[in-house]
Structure 1
Amino acid sequence: MIVFVLRRLLQTVLVLLLTSVIVFLGVYAIGDPLEILLPADASLAEKAQVAASLKLDQPLPVQYLSFLSSALHGDFGNSFVFNRPALQVIFERLPATLELTITAMILSLLIGMPLGLWAGTRPGSRVDETVMTGSILGFSLPNFWQGMMLVMIFSVWLGWLPSTGRGETGTIFGITTSYATLDGIRHLILPATNLALAQIALVIRMTRTGVQETMPLDFVKYARARGLSERRILFVHVLKTILIPIITILGVEFGSLVAFAVVTETIFAWPGVGKLIIDSINALDRPIIVAYILVIVCLFSLINFVVDVLYSALDPRIRGRQ
């Protein structure tokens, strides 16, 4: 197990190093921030002064080494727009995105797994067909369209829920969160639901497939022969077996939700990192863009590492194949 963990850590470090090179070259090879930061009538001396202050006058290899050295100390430079440390700006917005993502993941489990279990134990029935049709719609309909329909129905027509903003926040154990106030929860419901719809469909299909593949196996027949109830067989023996692939997929999908919550945050004006990166790309704010991408890559790598460890703990056979 220790060798497995060390190997995964080494792979994670190599991925981060390679990603830093690709991201740095990709971002710094595009456009000139001076054209955005300075007025059109700026003199050459002013441009040279700003370029020197931002270290844009140095060769790319020198800029990268300087960037890598600073990044290892948690310094990605100051934002061109906010004139503050880029990492600080991102971490100010990241809690809002994580709050939205965690809520969406909880909704996908609370809704998707029961529906998947229900459909999986009744193959070919109307319940199964209805649930699977709903999951297909969750996969097929564009996320932005789903968001606009949620706003139209629950905010415009019914007037039940607010459609934009994060709402009032409070503190729980010293953490600022929307969960602490009723207004914050009401503002969270629609964007979290919009972000969760595709994940609900994914959990439904995985759970249903896992149940249908597991129920005919010998250990389930043996459990029935011992006189165990169908409820106990389903929720103890079958569910434990199908949790392994579900944990793996949801671990990866959690990172995807954080990285690709841009559409949902834009539709609902949610003040997270998704909206920040869109604004930074428009302003060519290189420190914010690079820091954001590397933070997301670190988050992906950390999640994959944790998922691999959990996977190997649940199924020791995996360690032998690595």
Structure 2
Amino acid sequence: MLGFLIQRFLQAIVVLVVIAALVFLGVFAIGNPIDVLISPDATQQIRLDTIARYGLDQPLWQQYLAFLGRLAQGDLGRSFVFNMPVLDLVLSRLPATLELTLAAVAGATLLGVPLGMFAGYRPHSKVAKLLMGLSILGFSVPTFWIGLVLILVFAVSLGWLPAGGRGETVTVLGVEWSFLTLDGLKHLLLPAVNLSLFKLAMMMRLARAGTREIVLTDTVKFARASGQSEWTILRHHVLPLISIPIVTVFGLEFGSTLAFAVVTETIFSWPGLGKLIIESIQSLDRPVMVAYLMLVACLFIVINFLIDLAYAALDPRIRARR
């Protein structure tokens, strides 16, 4: 197991170095931030001083080496627009996105897996067919359209829930959370539902497919022959056997949702990382863009590592091979 951990750590270092180069070169090729930072009627001297202050007058390879040196020290630079350390800026927006992502993915998993198992266990029932039909809608309807409909119905027409913002928050250990207050929960509900529908449909279909496959195996047949109840069979035999693909999808969906919740955060004015990256792209705030993409890369590396550990915990055969 120790050899596996060392191998994955070395792979992660190589991946991060390659991604750092791709991210830096890709962001460098997008426009000229000086055109956004400086007024068009500024003098040439002011323009040259600003370029030198941000180090944009250096050759590309020198900028990249300076970037790697700062990155090794945990310094992601300063934001051109907000004029503050990028790491502080990203960390200030991360709790909002993390809270929204956890609510969406956890809710979709806790609801989708039981519904999918029921649909797989009773595939010919009317309820199962209705659930599968609704899951197709979850895959097909665009997220932005669902968000607008939710706002129109529950915020504008009925007035039950707020249309945007994060609401009242509570600070715990220096981090603001909105789910700890009633007003914050009201603000969290609509964007979390909007973000979770696609994940809910995926979890339902994944659990259904796994359940349909497992109930036909000899394991379930022997369990029934031994007199075990159907609930016991589902809980002790079917659920553990379908848990590995569910853990995989949960981890990857959590990472992708945390990284790309841009549409939902924009529609509901949720002050998270998605809204921040949109603002940074519009203003060509390169340090923020690079920090965001590096954070996404690190996030997926960590999630894949945790998924491998979860495999080893769920399946003894994997532990034996390692």
Q: Shorter chain as normaliser: what TM range?
A: over 0.9
Relative to the length of structure 2, the TM-score reads 0.97
**Structure 1 gap segments, 5+ residues each:** none
1:130 counterpart residue number? 130
CA-atom RMSD in angstroms: 1.4
Within the alignment, does 1:81 sit opposite 2:104 as a pair? no
Number of residue pairs matched by the alignment: 322
Deviation (angstroms), 1:315: 2.3
* Distance (Å, rounded) in 2 between the aligned partners of 1:19 and 1:39: 33
Query: Identity rate of aligned residues, in percent?
Result: 53
CA contact under 8 A between 1:255 and 1:303: conserved in structure 2?
yes
Deviation (angstroms), 1:203: 0.4
1:212 counterpart residue number? 212
* Distance (Å, rounded) in 1 between the aligned partners of 2:84 and 2:174: 24
Secondary structure of the corresponding residue to residue 163 of structure 1:
coil
Deviation (angstroms), 1:173: 5.7
Residue 69 of structure 2 aligns with an amino acid whose one-letter code is S
2:296 counterpart residue number? 296
Deviation (angstroms), 1:319: 6.4
CA contact under 8 A between 1:77 and 1:86: conserved in structure 2?
yes
Change in Cα spacing, 1:320 to 1:64, as seen in structure 2 (3 Å) is farther
* Distance (Å, rounded) in 1 between the aligned partners of 2:249 and 2:69: 34
1:179 counterpart residue number? 179
What are the residue-to-residue correspondences of 1:98-247 with 2, within 5 Å? 98-172=98-172, 175-247=175-247
List structure 1 segments (4+ residues) > 3 angstroms apart after TM superposition.
Answer: 171-175, 316-322
* Distance (Å, rounded) in 2 between the aligned partners of 1:15 and 1:49: 36
Residue 53 of structure 1 aligns with an amino acid whose one-letter code is R
Deviation (angstroms), 1:171: 3.2
CA contact under 8 A between 2:139 and 2:201: conserved in structure 1?
yes
CA contact under 8 A between 1:135 and 1:202: conserved in structure 2?
yes
2:314 counterpart residue number? 314
* Distance (Å, rounded) in 2 between the aligned partners of 1:43 and 1:317: 69
Secondary structure of the corresponding residue to residue 74 of structure 1:
coil
* Distance (Å, rounded) in 2 between the aligned partners of 1:139 and 1:169: 32
Per-residue CA deviation, residues 260-303 of structure 1 (Å, 9 max, x unaligned), is: 10000000000001011001000000000000110111111111
Deviation (angstroms), 1:96: 0.2
CA contact under 8 A between 1:4 and 1:319: conserved in structure 2?
no
Per-residue CA deviation, residues 245-269 of structure 1 (Å, 9 max, x unaligned), is: 1001110110100111000000000
CA contact under 8 A between 1:172 and 1:180: conserved in structure 2?
no
Relative to the length of structure 1, the TM-score reads 0.97
